[in-house]
Structure 1
Amino acid sequence: MADTFRLAAELGYDGVEVMVWNEAPTQDAEGLRRLTDDYGLPIISVHAPTLLLTQRVWGRQPWDKVDRSLELAEAVGAPVVVLHPPFRWQRDYARDFVAGVAERERRHDVRLSVENMFPWKVKTARREREVKAYLPGWDPLEQDYRSVTVDLSHTATAGSDALAMVRALGPRLAHLHLADGSGGYKDEHLVPGTGSQPCAEVLRLLPEVGFTGSVAVEINTRKMTTDERDAALVAALSFARTHLD
């Protein structure tokens, strides 16, 4: 986490989104507050550990994870918690998910923002088929969520119309994950402007739909060298500032 804050400050970012992960510093409110003070960067959002790879973080009970994420957000002053919809095998969690999210937003001064996802695609030698991976579904427009996060890599993978989604959400759009994708079956998280998504148009549309949230760069840098990673993060930040009004 210290490296994240240091790098964000050096490259000129305005804040940090914290992904709650296995590493203890991502879960430590006091340590996170010290980092915000040391680097002068607020935590703009907390991502709950609701990914496939974080199923054991903070136990196995999904609502416990959500509640602890809300508590962490309040403790560090983050106005948004991002979470994924339930996986299809989490049927009990999924059954009351929409109502549970709404009830928690009423109790907390934090927006509990459900992220758009995508159908999982399985390619075989003969054909490609879709797997229903999420309940009640991957498309947030099909549910009555008060707060939604739009991820532009996920719209690419899903084949969604990102501009139409942002327009339809209007003030329900609480948060944006800025990335890009080529439209294949993989969730790529490319640097914005290097894929097929209307990233610039989405950014320019935000004032029109009454957006008052934050934009978080979420790009994949795993296979990059340090210099390549820094250049990609600078390019993404420059793209955002060019097209944000």
Structure 2
Amino acid sequence: MVKPLGVQLYTVRDHMKADRDDVLRRIAEIGYGAVESFAPTDDPKGFRQVTDDLGLTVSSTHAHALLTENPNLVLDAVAVIGTDLVIVPAGIPEQEFTTRDGVARTAELLNGLAERAAGYGMRLGYHNHWWEIEPKIDGRHAIEVLAGELDPAVFLEIDTYWAAVGGADVPELLGRLGDRVLALHVKDGPVVKGEPHTAVGDGVMPVPDILAAAPDAWRIVELDSCATDIIDALAQSHAYLTTGLGRA
């Protein structure tokens, strides 16, 4: 089954605060078939109703709250919004990725959360930024060392842009991680910390090579910031990814 192209809703976080239902409608009208939540405990029933009405699949959700709140309450909300992929996106101290002992502690934490998620029929994933890529341990990016310590059921969502910012050759990294990667954050820009992102296809990221390196992963567009109108950038990204490069 072909996975629909998705949007990480953090991209439109300001629009969501103003009118969640309208921005979800606009995403569907552009042609996206999926969304990835970042706040599953915010009105999960209402969110599920709107996505169902619009025919949007909830591919997955970020759930930073797993680290700060009662995990069972968070997982209850995830079950309501209708996905079985729940992802820790940040919140683990950056220095934990600079030593093998720190990576081992991180893996222990994530493996424990994965056991909880499994009780709900869900899989736990981890999403990177640059700080899991820049440090190298025994010649490998810290994210690769982490992958080796994680329970095989724990998957990775590779943020391809932050991997590049961290110094990785992203297609090669994806090739080494193989089927541990179930999802990609597809974004573009100048690959410089602090600079705004661009619509996918307008920056310097080797997007076709990245997509080819993980052909079966969810493709989820995320723009943390953008110098142009964010809805226009999402529309432009969709056009680029569905014209010979991606899958609608």
TM-score with structure 2 setting the length: 0.71
Change (3 A) 1:66 1:141: farther
8 A contact 1:204–1:244 mirrored in 2: no
Residue equivalent to 1:103: 115
TM-score with structure 1 setting the length: 0.72
Q: Deviations over 1:181-236 (max 9, x none)?
A: 323233744322222322111112323xxx3x421110145553xxx333211111
Shift of 1:19: 1.3
Residue equivalent to 1:70: 75
Shift of 1:114: 0.4
Change (3 A) 1:184 1:221: closer
Letter in 2 for 1:215: R
Q: Deviations over 1:160-196 (max 9, x none)?
A: 1111121112111111111023232337443222223
Q: Which has the higher contact order (CA 8 A, sep 6+)?
A: 2
Shift of 1:64: 2.9
SS of residue paired to 2:192? coil
Shift of 1:9: 1.2
- How many residues of Structure 1 are paired with residues of Structure 2 in the alignment? 209
8 A contact 1:156–1:181 mirrored in 2: no
8 A contact 2:181–2:214 mirrored in 1: no
> Aligned-pair RMSD on alpha carbons?
3.1
Change (3 A) 1:108 1:167: farther
The one of 42, 46, 54 equivalent to 2:61 is 46
The yes-or-no answer on 1:33 pairing with 2:52 is: no
Q: Which runs of 5+ in 1 are unaligned?
A: 51-57, 121-129, 133-137
Q: Which runs of 5+ in 2 are unaligned?
A: 1-19, 97-101, 136-140
Identity %: 25
The one of 162, 172, 180 equivalent to 1:172 is 180
Letter in 2 for 1:233: L
Shift of 1:237: 1.0
8 A contact 1:193–1:200 mirrored in 2: no
SS of residue paired to 1:186? coil
